[in-house]
C-alpha cells in the first residue's frame, strides 16, 4: 500500500461518531484446530456512539485522552493502559503503513458504549481512528485497504470500518474476518439493554465449548434467511452464545426473564454479552419498551435504530 502525506494546517481536526454494533444473528461452530471458532453473523451498526476527535498538534509526541462520559448510560472507568486500547493500536498500525511520517496528534475519546457488553465499542473506536487519520491527512487509502487494515486489529474492526463507509449492515463469515455488505434497507428499531456487568469474550467461548458438540457447524442458511426475510420480527434474532453468556454471568438469565415479563417479547443477547435487545415494531414501540424496562427492571436501556445504508 502506498500513501501520500499532504500539508495539513496546524490544529486541523477530524471528529468521528463511532457507532455500536449489534449481532441480530450469530451462529457459532465448534472450535477448529487453530483454536478459532467459525461464525456466521448478521451485524448492524446502530445510532449509539462514542465520540472521537483527532487533532493535529505542535510538538513531537502524540497525546491520548480516553474516558467514559459522565452522562454515559453505564458509568465505567478506563482501567486499561493506553497502549492496550484499540485506538492506540489503530494509530500505530497506520503509522507503520504510510510512507511518510504522520505528524503528532491529540486523540480525545469520550466513551458512551460500555466495555464488555458485546457492542463493539472499542472496535468502532479503532475504525474511527483509521478513517479519521485517512481523512485528516488525505492519505488516499482505498476502502478495501482500510477494511483490511481494520480486520488486522480484529474482526469487529473490519465491520466497523465498513459501517463508516456507508455499509452498516453485513454478514460476517469465516472467523469473522470476511465481511459482505448487505442491502437490508428497512430500519430495525430496538430497545438496547446494558446491564452493569460485563462478559469476558474468552470466558463465554470457553463455556460455549463445554456446552456444545465437538462437531457443531454454523447455520449459514438460517442467518441468510433472516437477512432476506423482510421486516425483522421480534422472535427472529438468535445467538448461539446466549446460553454460554448466561453461564458466565448468571444475572443475565434472571434479567432476561424479568424483561420478558415486562414487555412480553423475546430478549436477545448481542455478541458474547452482556448487552441485550428487544425488537420493536417502530421507533415509538422501542421507546415505550425502553421506558418500561428502565422503570420495572432497574437497568440501563436506550432506544436505537440501525443506521441508514448508503446506496
Q: What CATH code is carried by the domain that includes residue 213?
A: 3.30.70.890
Q: Is 170 marked as a binding-site residue?
A: no
What is the domain count for the chain? 2
Domain boundary residue among 115, 146, 181?
181
Question: Number of C-alpha atoms within 13 angstroms, CB side, residue 95?
Answer: 12
Domain boundary residue among 124, 152, 181?
181
pLDDT of residue 6: 47
298 or 5: which carries more pLDDT confidence? 298
- 214 pLDDT band, cuts 50/70/90, is confident
309 or 157: which carries more pLDDT confidence? 157
Q: Is 198 marked as a binding-site residue?
A: no
Q: Considering the domain boundaries, does residue 1 fall inside one? A: no
Q: 138 and 251 share a domain?
A: no
User: Model's pTM, two decimal places?
Assistant: 0.94
Look over the chain and give the mean of its residue pLDDT values, rounded to a whole number.
Answer: 94
Q: Considering the domain boundaries, does residue 5 fall inside one? A: no
Q: Is 273 marked as a binding-site residue?
A: no
Q: Is 117 marked as a binding-site residue?
A: yes
Give the span between the Cα atoms of 188 and 225, in whole angstroms. Answer: 16
pLDDT of residue 10: 67
Q: Considering the domain boundaries, does residue 127 fall inside one? A: yes
Q: Considering the domain boundaries, does residue 58 fall inside one? A: yes
Give the span between the Cα atoms of 303 and 143, in whole angstroms. Answer: 30
pLDDT of residue 73: 93
| Residue 84 neighbours by CB under 8 Å, 6+ apart | none
- We report the CATH number of the domain holding residue 137 as 3.30.230.10
Q: 288 and 149 share a domain?
A: no
Angle, CA of 73, 76 and 81, to the nearest 5°: 140
Q: Is 120 marked as a binding-site residue?
A: yes
Alpha carbon distances (Å) from 16 to 98, 112, 213: 21, 13, 42
- 8 pLDDT band, cuts 50/70/90, is low
Pairing assessment for the beta strands 238-239 and 13-28 based on DSSP bridges: parallel
pLDDT of residue 4: 39
What pLDDT digit, counting tens, does each position of 134-158 carry?
999 999 999 999 999 999 999 899 9
C-alpha cell at 251: 444475572
What pLDDT digit, counting tens, does each position of 22-79 carry?
999 999 999 999 989 999 999 999 999 999 999 999 989 999 999 999 999 998 999 9
Q: Give the residue numbers marked as catalytic.
A: 21, 156
Q: Is 128 marked as a binding-site residue?
A: no
Residue 201 has pLDDT above 80, yes or no: yes
Q: Is 116 marked as a binding-site residue?
A: yes
Residue 129 has pLDDT above 50, yes or no: yes
Average pLDDT over residues 153-171: 95
Domain boundary residue among 139, 164, 181?
181
Residue 184 has pLDDT above 90, yes or no: no
Q: Considering the domain boundaries, does residue 310 fall inside one? A: no
Range of the domain at 176: 13-181
pLDDT of residue 237: 98
Amino acid at each position: 500500500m502506498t500513501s501520500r502525506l499532504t500539508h495539513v494546517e496546524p490544529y486541523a481536526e477530524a471528529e468521528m461518531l463511532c457507532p455500536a454494533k449489534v449481532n441480530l444473528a450469530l451462529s457459532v461452530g465448534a472450535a477448529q484446530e487453530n483454536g478459532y471458532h467459525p461464525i456466521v453473523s448478521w451485524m448492524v451498526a446502530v445510532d449509539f456512539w462514542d465520540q472521537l476527535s483527532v487533532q493535529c498538534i505542535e510538538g513531537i509526541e502524540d497525546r491520548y485522552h480516553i474516558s467514559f462520559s459522565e452522562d454515559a448510560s453505564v458509568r465505567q472507568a478506563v482501567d486499561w493502559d493506553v497502549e492496550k486500547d484499540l485506538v492506540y493500536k489503530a494509530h500505530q498500525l497506520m503509522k507503520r503503513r504510510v510512507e511518510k511520517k504522520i505528524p503528532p496528534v491529540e486523540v480525545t475519546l469520550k466513551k458512551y458504549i460500555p466495555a464488555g457488553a458485546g457492542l463493539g465499542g472499542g472496535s468502532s473506536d479503532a475504525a474511527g481512528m483509521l478513517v479519521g487519520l485517512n481523512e485528516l491527512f488525505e492519505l488516499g487509502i482505498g476502502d478495501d485497504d482500510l477494511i483490511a487494515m481494520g480486520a488486522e486489529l480484529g474482526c469487529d474492526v473490519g465491520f466497523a470500518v465498513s459501517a463508516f463507509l456507508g455499509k452498516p449492515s453485513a454478514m460476517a463469515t469465516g472467523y469473522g474476518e470476511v465481511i459482505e455488505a448487505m442491502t437490508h434497507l428497512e430500519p430495525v428499531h430496538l430497545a438496547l439493554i446494558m446491564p452493569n456487568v460485563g462478559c469476558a469474550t474468552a470466558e463465554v467461548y470457553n463455556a460455549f465449548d463445554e456446552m456444545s458438540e465437538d462437531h457443531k457447524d454454523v447455520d449459514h442458511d438460517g442467518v441468510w434467511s433472516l437477512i432476506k426475510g423482510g421486516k425483522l420480527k421480534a422472535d427472529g434474532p438468535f445467538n448461539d452464545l446466549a446460553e454460554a453468556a448466561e453461564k458466565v454471568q448468571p444475572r443475565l438469565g434472571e434479567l432476561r426473564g424479568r424483561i420478558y415479563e415486562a414487555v412480553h417479547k423475546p430478549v436477545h443477547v448481542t455478541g458474547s454479552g452482556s448487552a441485550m435487545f428487544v425488537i420493536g415494531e417502530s421507533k415509538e414501540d422501542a421507546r415505550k419498551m425502553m421506558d418500561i424496562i428502565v422503570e420495572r427492571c432497574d437497568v440501563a436501556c436506550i432506544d436505537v435504530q440501525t443506521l441508514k445504508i448508503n446506496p
